[in-house]
Structure 1
């Protein structure tokens, strides 16, 4: 989920605070021509310099991937795994930290797309010789097929930009039942050409097609909801084995041609994802840095309880990557469920939450900034906006007064669902709301189950803690994704988890979407952000940094500005292979 237009944004991202990075190193000699294309090492704090070819990289995790199906992959950092290792898209982001990482390059396509008809039509041509893991050719028809799959109710939860933008017939339900999109939406004049026809102008569509929706899926390999178990690779790696929730092994896709791919370097021979770690096991192993763990990295954030162990040890601290993720963590209120269907109650929550305590539970100021509006600073020209001008610890007196005005001066009870790893943060919400008379029962579930509960209208409780990251450099990938009532689904509801369905907001979203002046649109997004804050479907809590620890033999590690500050798997590998 990611960002706003280009020059201003790039500067804002380049200036993002970096904590505890290793000393900057220059690129060493490369082992293939053009190996550093799209990668900048000098002055950017890339850990370990340039990797060597070969070896086994281990990724340590405590959770399964929720979706590797490219039509359904819409969570960070799973998108990073998918589009950097398993499948390619029409365009993709450069493999570089800071401002350079916000720039796009052709991927499967020969260029960044050709707009016509006032940016309502976009044409892309595929490169020659592209192949899947089995050696069969990648065609434009395969990209069209995956775009169609994103309309399918049987495949919920993925990016819905195709649904929003394409000139598709009303009620189109995807290809699984045999129905295909016509030329009014997507044309495939030949095997290497695909033409998208949009409902309205989209000047940034070249960025839209970086999303996994715009990667190829061969119709002959369709397995419906089971496709996530083995998506057919168009990228540098293919799945050798995948025991869900336990272990995934990736090996080289021998039919991937590095000459056609300017971004992915595929340094390791093999990548092993261990998903069985619990508690602080990942951090403990990487801090100890013994044996094969020197060749490992963490898929998940450093636990708050281990922050001191890392920051007080210089040798470990220099292996920490921690940059602003450009995302907003928020307390989402189910606006279809009483009493959160009452705007006054929701407004009270804006004052009741103790953001300072929440941030402390999430690692403190080293890894969090207090959020004061929905749009993160990277989408507000680098400057945070404080909408309510409330102390970080909240204003319980103001919250109680608003609850009294709503007829709930005696308080109420509600439930909050969160992942097991988010329990400490949830408890700060519980404690803060108790001060204003709201009794919160916390339900903790496995991280992979949160989205299925929150996304199901019949199961979703009153409160949940979630977040949003822009998909590419535009605020159009933020507010419309989380507050457009037309995107709400009964099941598989991903973006608008507050189920906020406000006609005035929808009208504003459409009005701004039609603007062709990007500066004017930027100001309009800021104004709309403030209006939605007053309607309070969610409480923005923190703008987090993402702390990720790597082993001492890891090279090419840096936080990518698009993948929510996750490590960029396109260029990571080992310093040496023994």
Structure 2
């Protein structure tokens, strides 16, 4: 593949994102209705102008980072935080709102990658003078080592792209036992060159290497599962202290060279993450906006109970950023657990769920749209697709008829697991399913524990509430990740939470992946989305916006389209250093 083809691909994806962003504020109602979500329009969508250098940025949260090991970091907004503050990748996304934020730039690499062998071989050269926080040089083998770590069963939960794309032995188990991949998989002919050999052409591989899997990890600092406590920094900040679940302090990495990094501006001198806040604590502090909280941002979404208080106060509302996250929230059914191993039961759930009530529990139409297919509008050329044409409130009569056909005329009982913050949404599902004879027992757990339950076949109940965000705006990072049966694991199962394993779908995934024409592939992804909807491994529930409050002294804050509407930590800072 030539560089010109790569540029054409980038333009095609950017065009799709532009359409998607345009649709975020046009889902019914007037323009004023659409803006009730608090989408900030100051200047070019950036709050507070350009930050000053210095001061302390405070991040207020109620949850610990689930995983900061770059091999295992595959959740939003942890990925955003990791790749913008602690580690760099071969390429990365531009720090800009809207369609500009989709464009990729070289990061550790000197360019966006050179492909050969019809797009099956990709070569990257590293920039000069790259160093870790301790001054040790970053070399190509460090990136190879981290990619190899993604194969390790001891380090589950990370992106599957390397294992899916790379030529590698079927029984390879990672480097922790001393086994490295050979030249047929990844070559490092010198300290500044890394060559990836893929099983098939991947036109988007320049985007794939934006993921933290493709950041460097020095073998000498390997700590296995404990590496998450202190990943060795290649970015602008390093960890000074980390008391898990309580507080993290980042300070400048003096060995990071801003001349080699065109994206991260590293405005604050220090970043302090407070993870001890509970319930409405984050919102209350940012609404009050006193002292250090004026220089603070929210890491977590604005809770529904505080929405009215924010929207009715003009001074607070102008500090609210709320953009469509480009993600789909789903009711995941464990397809290996009765009665959800019955396709007709799963189809009945499509009609039984009251998505309107679920959306209301998330804050209403100002903060979420009802989802009508798996692919979010950002991946369907900006226009939402309504596959079943079911009313947002559901169709209990149709659901009961389908359950009767499936042999469950009297309903059934099952368990739903969700995070403590998702109880209200779970209760909306519980109430709707009760109308068709399905009794739901809700189990709430700490947010950091959800994936350890839903990802463990032995522990996973019948239902869970989850979601998926594309790693970049291409359905290739969406449908294969959540519906390819070959990715299912007994433990550490991260993407295909439904455990949907359908040979016809797998064949379609491979057929579309082999297409070199982006437009043809986009059409095929839409068709496959419809086919999977008919098999109903999950119920799409909502396309949420991400409402985030910031303090009055914050500058450079905007929602990044790639990071699921999260603030871009690469360029955020303060109006006045404090």
Report TM bin, short chain: over 0.9
Q: Decide whether aligned partners of structure 1 residues 281 and 4 sit closer, same or farther in structure 2, where only a CA change above 3 A counts.
A: farther
Q: Does 1:6 pair with 2:13?
A: yes
Partner residue in 2 for 1:427: 427
Q: Does 1:81 pair with 2:81?
A: yes
Partner residue in 2 for 1:286: 286
TM-score scaled to structure 1, two decimals? 0.96
- The number of residue pairs the alignment matches comes to 558
Partner residue in 1 for 2:170: 170
> What pairs up with 1:410-449 in 2 under 5 angstroms?
410-449=410-449
Per the TM alignment, residue 10 of structure 1 is displaced from its structure 2 partner at its CA by 2.9
- What is the rounded CA distance, in whole Å, between the counterparts of 2:41 and 2:563 in structure 1? 23
Partner residue in 2 for 1:559: 559
> What pairs up with 1:51-130 in 2 under 5 angstroms?
51-130=51-130
> What pairs up with 1:146-165 in 2 under 5 angstroms?
146-165=146-165
Partner residue in 2 for 1:354: 354
Equivalent position SS for 1:423: helix
Equivalent position SS for 2:245: coil
Partner residue in 2 for 1:473: 473
Q: Does 1:20 pair with 2:34?
A: no
- What is the rounded CA distance, in whole Å, between the counterparts of 1:518 and 1:103 in structure 2? 17
Partner residue in 2 for 1:308: 308
Per the TM alignment, residue 11 of structure 1 is displaced from its structure 2 partner at its CA by 1.8
Per the TM alignment, residue 23 of structure 1 is displaced from its structure 2 partner at its CA by 4.8
Q: Is the 8 A contact 1:4 1:474 kept in 2?
A: no
- What is the rounded CA distance, in whole Å, between the counterparts of 2:451 and 2:12 in structure 1? 29
Per the TM alignment, residue 22 of structure 1 is displaced from its structure 2 partner at its CA by 4.3
Per the TM alignment, residue 9 of structure 1 is displaced from its structure 2 partner at its CA by 1.4
> What pairs up with 1:438-517 in 2 under 5 angstroms?
438-517=438-517
- What is the rounded CA distance, in whole Å, between the counterparts of 1:519 and 1:282 in structure 2? 43
> What pairs up with 1:331-346 in 2 under 5 angstroms?
331-346=331-346
- What is the rounded CA distance, in whole Å, between the counterparts of 1:504 and 1:570 in structure 2? 42
Q: Is the 8 A contact 1:55 1:574 kept in 2?
A: yes
- What is the rounded CA distance, in whole Å, between the counterparts of 1:547 and 1:95 in structure 2? 19
TM-score scaled to structure 2, two decimals? 0.96
Per the TM alignment, residue 397 of structure 1 is displaced from its structure 2 partner at its CA by 0.3
- What is the rounded CA distance, in whole Å, between the counterparts of 2:562 and 2:110 in structure 1? 22
Q: Is the 8 A contact 1:113 1:206 kept in 2?
A: yes
- What is the rounded CA distance, in whole Å, between the counterparts of 1:96 and 1:531 in structure 2? 35
Equivalent position SS for 1:6: helix
- What is the rounded CA distance, in whole Å, between the counterparts of 2:481 and 2:17 in structure 1? 22
- What is the rounded CA distance, in whole Å, between the counterparts of 1:386 and 1:63 in structure 2? 35
> What pairs up with 1:562-573 in 2 under 5 angstroms?
562-573=562-573
- What is the rounded CA distance, in whole Å, between the counterparts of 2:12 and 2:246 in structure 1? 40
- What is the rounded CA distance, in whole Å, between the counterparts of 2:434 and 2:20 in structure 1? 38
Partner residue in 2 for 1:41: none
Per the TM alignment, residue 21 of structure 1 is displaced from its structure 2 partner at its CA by 4.0
Partner residue in 2 for 1:538: 538
- Listed one character per residue, the Cα deviations across residues 370-414 of structure 1 (whole Å, up to 9, x for unaligned) are 100000000000010000000000000000000000000000000
Q: Is the 8 A contact 1:76 1:563 kept in 2?
A: yes
Q: Is the 8 A contact 1:4 1:379 kept in 2?
A: no
Q: Decide whether aligned partners of structure 1 residues 259 and 24 sit closer, same or farther in structure 2, where only a CA change above 3 A counts.
A: same
Equivalent position SS for 1:81: helix
